[in-house]
Structure 1
Amino acid sequence: MLRKLIAPARYVQGANALQALGEEIKALKLGTRVFTLADRRVLEIVQSKIEQALQAAGIEGSFAEFRGECSKQEIMRLKELAEKEGADVILGAGGGKALDTAKAVAYYAHKPVVIVPTIASTDAPCSALSVIYTEQGIFEEYLVLPRNPDLVLVDTAIIARAPVRFLVAGMGDALATWFEARACAESRAKNLPGGDSTLAALNLAQLCYETLLEDGYQACLAVERQVVTPAVERVVEANILLSGLGFESSGLAAAHAVHNALTTLEETHAYYHGEKVAFGTLVQLVLEGRPLGEIEEVLEFAVSVGLPVTLADIGLGEVSEEKLRKVAEAAVRPGETIHNEPFPVTAEDVLAAIIGADALGKDFKGF
């Protein structure tokens, strides 16, 4: 099998990087009419900054409100708006669902896409993938895109002013990257572009994990005080770039399949993607029978930054075994990434791993 690695055409990160937006779009010759989608709160934060940066580069801009769910209906609505505006570039600003929506809108409109994350809560910004949900917020499918974003621009000054929970959720998403990459490498599972993982992708995935352990806690302390430190820069890069390249060019496994299955329970909808992925990572490690020392290292990190390690931490403290069985069954549906594990996985295996992970988390926290 061929080895394959994919990545965004250009990645730019730093405090006040948004000031360079227009010049970066101009340098890449992406277009002169930019259609920006973001939710109302994000528009209040970035619209004037985006307008100023575009005007300084001689680029026209229009804006539309994203309604909160990356659903097929919302994607088509925004595509029609972009076409009415005569846009030749689609820009998504905000969190993972807004960014995934922008990528999907650009794909269906046959336009280049610029991604401006205002939080570092997932590894969505760099990927050639949109996670599609129903209008009710239940996972529906992965939309695999033919290419990665043309430009990913990350303003860490904006990210540092967001609630720290977003950064922590991003660390939860990034936490899975190395363990899922390792599982895919062991099983020789295909990565997103349909090839074997490269040494570069595997090492980026491992570096992602090592960066979280080294810098995660102090990055949280800095963001709680809304300042950008070197630790914040490194963790933002881990959450967005290292995790994005690592998962996409190495692969996903049990952790994300468990996340997808957990979205079928309404009780989990108040919790972020990365928070559920963090618990899914523990489930994966139990499922794989990894050494206790490795699991305790993950538990120690997760608890130190405030990531979920028990079912109660994701709203399932009183969940019935019947509901957990439904989660387990959803996790092993045909086509789910859990089948990238290097051994056959059944719903019974997943149910046992969920209960086992919850027990370890409770024990570690002293419950």
Structure 2
Amino acid sequence: MSQMLLAPRRYIQGDGAVAEIGLHAARLGTRALLVSGRRALAACGGPIEAALAGSGLSCHRELFGGECCESEIARLVCVAQQNGIDLVIAAGGGKVIDTGKVVAHRLKLPVIVLPTVAATDAPCSALSVIYAETGVFERYQLLPHNPDCVLVDTRIIANAPVETLVSGMGDALATFWEADTCARSCRPNVLTGAKAPLRSALALARLCYDTLLEHGLAAKLAVANRCVTPAVEAIVEANTLLSGLGFESGGLAGAHAIHNGLTVLKSSHDRLHGQKVAFGTLVQLVMEGRPAEQFQQVLEFCRSVGLPVCLDDLGIHAPTRDDIRAVAEAATAPGETIHATWFDVTAATVEDAIWTANALALNDRSQRVSR
């Protein structure tokens, strides 16, 4: 089977880049549907509309309903049809972006993605994560092509809550480890169908990981002070572009499946996507029997930037055996990405790995306190 590398048609990043959206939108349409949440509209709605008007485009604003689910997608499709829309612009976080991509796909329209947080690697991918209205993971929606344009204004990112940047690091953290698993197993990538990542995909995934280790803490501290620095630019690129290309062309494995499993516990719903993926990465490393120093490196990185390392950090307090068994069963459902692992994974395998990763993190924490 052929190998492949997937990417958006254009990627633009920089301080003040939102002012350029009209130039790129004018290539794609004349009447835009701007889908965004209230906070994202406050952050960039005015500049987007001004830039579009300056390039001769009209714009219809529509508030996002809050969940990337079938009912919200259908509602926005109707809004677009009623207003003669020929271009979709999705501005906000991962769920807004995923919704906008599906809406554009169903209407056969181009889409521009403008993330207002660097919290996930959703912006660059030809994939949307569909949830139930209750927030429980339902399925991956594979799309025929990547976004036509991804535009990232790092000043907007730096003004967003620092927790969103850290969550993006948690999502990006899984990229290398999952791609490495897919390369070892040569099992079909559920996203592309390819049996092994290209060397370029693996190189991007590795660069993503190395960038996190080198610049993660400095970027977090800069954004905590609403500053744009070279470290912030590097981490935004890692969270958005490197992780986006790396996960889609490299493949998903255990970490994201465990994230999906965690969504069956209502107590985890107020945690961000990347926070759950970070813990899922630790679980994946335990499950795969990776060397202790690799687990420790990931654990220490998570601690340094403030990512969750145990169940309690995720708001899952005093879970029962039944709770974790339910997570494990959801993570190993047929078609889940955990089956890209180079050995057969069962719910019992995942359950044991969750408890063990949790215990290792708690043990490490207690040792630090006692020093």
Q: Which residue of 2 aligns with 1:360?
A: 360
The CA deviation string for residues 254-274 of structure 1, in whole angstroms up to 9 with x for no partner, is: 000000000000000010000
Aligned equivalent of 2:112: 114
Is 2:27 the partner of 1:18? no
* Alignment correspondent of 2:70: 72
Q: Partner letter of residue 133 of structure 1?
A: Y
**What is the aligned partner in structure 1 of residue 349 from structure 2?**
349
Alignment-derived partner of residue 329 in structure 2: 329
Q: Distance in 1 between matches of 2:353 and 2:69?
A: 31
Q: Which residue of 1 aligns with 2:293?
A: 293
Residue identity matched to 2:50: Q
Offset of residue 197 of structure 1:
1.3
Report sequence identity in percent. 54
The Cα offsets for residues 198-217 of structure 1, whole Å up to 9 and x where unpaired, read as 11111000100000000000
| Residues 33-72 of structure 1: per-residue CA shift (max 9 Å, x gap) | 1111001221122111111110111111111000110000
Q: Deviations over 1:86-135 (max 9, x none)?
A: 11000100000000000000011110000000000000000000100000
Q: Distance in 1 between matches of 2:183 and 2:10?
A: 27
What does residue 149 of structure 2 align with? 151
Corresponding position of 2:2: 2
- Structure 2 counterpart of 1:180: 178
Are 1:238 and 2:238 matched, yes or no? yes
1:157 Cα offset (Å): 0.2
What's the CA shift for 1:284?
0.1
User: Which of 68, 91, 107 is the equivalent residue of 1:93?
Assistant: 91
Q: Which residue of 1 aligns with 2:192?
A: 193
Q: Distance in 2 between matches of 1:171 and 1:47?
A: 26
Whole-angstrom CA distance in 1 between matches of 2:70 and 2:105: 13
State the distance in 1 between where 2:24 and 2:336 align: 37
- Contact kept? 1:75, 1:104, Cα under 8 Å: yes
> Could you tell me which residue of structure 1 aligns to residue 209 of structure 2?
209
Taking the aligned partners of 2:206 and 2:317, their CA distance within structure 1 comes to 32
1: CA distance between counterparts of 2:348 and 2:172? 27
- Matched position secondary structure for 1:345: coil
CA distance in 1, matches of 2:295, 2:331: 21
Q: Deviations over 1:186-239 (max 9, x none)?
A: 111233222231111110001000000000000000000001000000000000
Please state whether the residue corresponding to 1:125 is helix, strand or coil. Answer: coil
User: Stretches of 4+ moved more than 6 A in 1?
Assistant: none
Give the whole-Å Cα distance in 2 for the aligned partners of 1:82 and 1:201: 35
User: Match for 2:78: what amino acid?
Assistant: E
- Cα deviation, residue 350, structure 1: 0.4
Match of 1:284 in 2: 284
Q: Which residue of 1 aligns with 2:140?
A: 142
Secondary structure at 2:307 match in 1: coil
For structure 2, the residue ranges without an aligned partner over 5 or more in a row are none
- Rounded to whole Å, the distance in 1 between the matches of 2:303 and 2:362 is 11
Aligned to 2:306: 306
Measure, in 2, the Cα distance between the counterparts of 1:56 and 1:366: 58
The amino acid that maps onto 1:169 is: S
Give the corresponding residue for 2:269: 269
Structure 2: distance between partners of 1:352 and 1:321: 10
Are 1:46 and 2:47 an aligned pair? no
Residue 274 of structure 1 aligns with an amino acid whose one-letter code is G
- Output the CA distance in 2 between the equivalents of 1:148 and 1:16: 24
Separation in 2 of the partners of 1:123 and 1:321?
32
Q: What is the letter of the counterpart of residue 162 of structure 1?
A: A
Render the CA deviation track for 1:304-354: whole Å, top value 9, x for unaligned. Answer: 000000000001121111110111111111000000000000111101100
Measure, in 2, the Cα distance between the counterparts of 1:189 and 1:60. 46
Unmatched runs of 5 consecutive residues or more in structure 1: none
1:340 corresponds in structure 2 to: 340
> Distance in 1 between the 2:310 and 2:139 partners?
26
Contact residue 123 and residue 170 of structure 1 kept, 8 A = yes
Q: Is the 8 A contact 1:299 1:364 kept in 2?
A: no
- Letter matched to residue 194 of structure 1: G
Q: CA RMSD in A?
A: 0.8
Please show how residues 25-36 of structure 1 align to structure 2 within 5 Å: 25-26=25-26, 29-36=27-34
CA distance in 2, matches of 1:74, 1:348: 36
In the alignment, the residues of structure 1 paired with residue 352 and residue 104 of structure 2 have an alpha-carbon distance, to the nearest angstrom, of 41
Q: Which amino acid aligns with 2:140?
A: Y
